[in-house]
Chains A and B, each alone.
Chain A
Amino acid sequence: MYSVEADNLIKRYGSSEALRGVSFRVSEGEIFGIIGPDGAGKTSIFRILTTLILPDGGSARVLGLDVVQDYHGIRRRVGYMPGRFSLYQDLSVEENLRFFATLFGTTIEENYDLVKDIYSYLEPFRKRKAGALSGGMKQKLALSCALIHKPDVLFLDEPTTGVDPVSRKEFWTMLRRLREQGLSIVVSTPYMDEATLCDRIALIRKGIFLDTDTPADIISKFTLPLLAVSGPHMPSLLRDIRLIPQVFSCFAFGDTHHVVMRPGELSLEAQINFLNTALHAKGHSGLSIKPIRPNVEDCYMYLDTLEEHS
């Protein structure tokens, strides 16, 4: 049985279509990542699956329960952490946790083992008001509150946005530990580096999934040569590479530019030589051009550009 099944979900807000037919399955004990930029429709998926809004088309089941018909049953068994911090800022850490435990008819003590790894970070601040916590602490508290009733599925909408890198790493460690306890987790993120930490991912763009697969398989589908270019004048280099007609796409990735050439007869060596010559002609020197292995972000950008062109 699947923890989550979505079939052709459609959601409109006025005349704009947030979801244009999204389908996916999440197996038990799986971390499923929805990867995409802001405004791609990630939050709408979460809100439909947590029964906060109704879909305009398609259907979805969570734990075998229909999101429209059996929403009561779903609310009892899922944990949801919205993108925005939405606990009571004027209540203390402990009061928030106790409050949400009570709303689900349980107590902190009863499910303490489930949250203790996370809550142990918060214990020293349990009398502090939630509004006075740091970003990383707020996120841990929100996760504790979403877990306190021992849900079977966890929905986390951009849980690491606005959180420092150390807390982000800790957070993912916690998620993997929760998965080991049999929890299914649906998580969205705009950070591509977090994608590889999921078991399977979906790349979402403008309300449509570009691809759904394991991170490794998504990367392995990327068969074109990928070149990392760097030089002394990075901003003008980016502009000039994009002006070369044979270049399919070029994006700035940290300290290098990732370039994909239009598919043709040129071998990898020939591509490098061609680029070097073309850029020398535009006055760039001291360039480093070498082939690299693509990551999830390269795959996303490639699929995004393909979609853009069609």
Chain B
Amino acid sequence: MILKYLIEKEFKQMARDPFILFIVIALPVLVMLVFPWATTMEIKNVNVAVVDNDRSDLSRLLTEKIASTEYFDITGVFMRSDEALEQVEFGDADIILEVPYGFEQDLLSEGSSSLLIEANAVNGTKASLGTSYLDVIVLDFTEEVNLERGAVTLTAPGGIAVDSYYWFNPTMDYKIPMIPALIMLVVALITGFLPAMNIVGEKEAGTIEQINVTPVPKITFIVGKLIPYWVIGVIVLSVGMVVAWLLYGLRPEGSVLLLYGLSLLFIFGLSGLGLIISNYSSTMQQAMFMIFFIIIVFILMCGIFTPISSMPEWARAISLFDPFTYFAEIMRMIYLKGSTFRDILPYVYPLLAFFVVIIGWAVLSYKKRG
């Protein structure tokens, strides 16, 4: 009865705050609309400055072949390498391709030659991916030249042909794995931030004094705070999923029910974390900075932008305590692989532990007396 009224009161307050309504609907839509495009790892329109010391038919052909792909734009063909370097310095070019003197002759007479690729590594992703794309094009080009010469086997000694197939995302569209992760992010942002502002808001308004002199048990009070945020979280999750389906045609391969069920652990855990911060803070500003800091750490360590396997040992240890790591994996597995409960069980246990610890802490850290 008391719990029902506590929850009812929270909902009334939320309903009267147009900002919350806006956040719950607009934020997931906005995130799904913009971020899948922004977080793509695909590299396009890399600017290439060519230094052509050979001035031969083949060097011109190679330049044209590079320019004809959608990945590269040729910013100019230069006589001297320092001119090309200047282009990089001014930011006009990302990669320099230097063709040495005698390139055509070597390739035609010996079937091989050398090229120099230099990349501006200020943007590491662009440099490494651009360089490897360029490698592939050059290799392809060499093979074509050799084919014309009739010397087939030179570039593929041993004759090993490699074919790749990208499971669960055949076109290797970077948006696909990002979408479930982004849905998780927007759920986490809202269900983390709003509760963090809540109790401390009651402290600032003084209403907590009135609550504290009532006989309401701590656990009832905290649960009364958590349930409304779980409902909000479910709404955000649903909005995110609907937008993902309408905009990108992406639907969970696995059980939607399972997804909602596990989101309960995640959302309760995060809202609990928000409440803990709220309990320890004495101003909204403090709470805001604290939750901001924690969520940033969670996002950066959870492996949705950079794979955890390539992190150093200590960073991997941190990511073990990051609930985002597990829920992102669960979201991706259910969404892309159609995994069942049994498949994701290893990720459910840590999430369950997170849930139990946080809720316990949230109840204990709520002090009814100073």
Contacts and interface: CB of A to CB of B under 8 A. Distances in A.
A88 interface: yes
A234 B211 CA distance: 49
B17 interface: yes
A144 to B, nearest CB: 12
Contacts, number: 72
Contacts of A54: 369-370
A103 B370 contact: no
Contacts of B22: none
B13 A90 contact: yes
A160 interface: no
Contacts of A76: 215
A90 B17 contact: yes
Interface in A32-60: 47, 50-54
Interface of A: 47, 50-54, 71-72, 75-76, 78, 80, 82, 84-91, 95, 98-100, 102-105, 145
Given A86-B210, A91-B9, 16 more contacts: A51-B213, A52-B209, A52-B368, A80-B209, A80-B213, A82-B210, A86-B207, A86-B208, A87-B207, A88-B207, A91-B12, A99-B5, A100-B214, A103-B5, A105-B2, A145-B210
B116 interface: no
Interface residues of B, number: 24
Given A52-B369, A53-B370, A75 B12 contact: no
Contacts of B124: none
Contacts of A88: 9, 13, 205, 207
B5 A104 contact: no
B297 interface: no
Nearest to A149: B214
Contact of A72 (B6, B16, B215): B215
Q: Which one of A87, A89, A99 has the greatest number of beta carbons of chain B within 10 Å?
A: A99
B136 interface: no
Nearest to B221: A103
Nearest to B14: A90
B167 to A, nearest CB: 52
Contacts of B211: 103
23 contacts: A50-B213, A52-B368, A53-B369, A75-B215, A82-B209, A86-B205, A86-B207, A86-B210, A87-B207, A87-B210, A88-B13, A88-B207, A89-B205, A90-B12, A91-B12, A95-B9, A99-B9, A100-B214, A103-B216, A104-B214, A105-B1, A105-B215, A145-B210
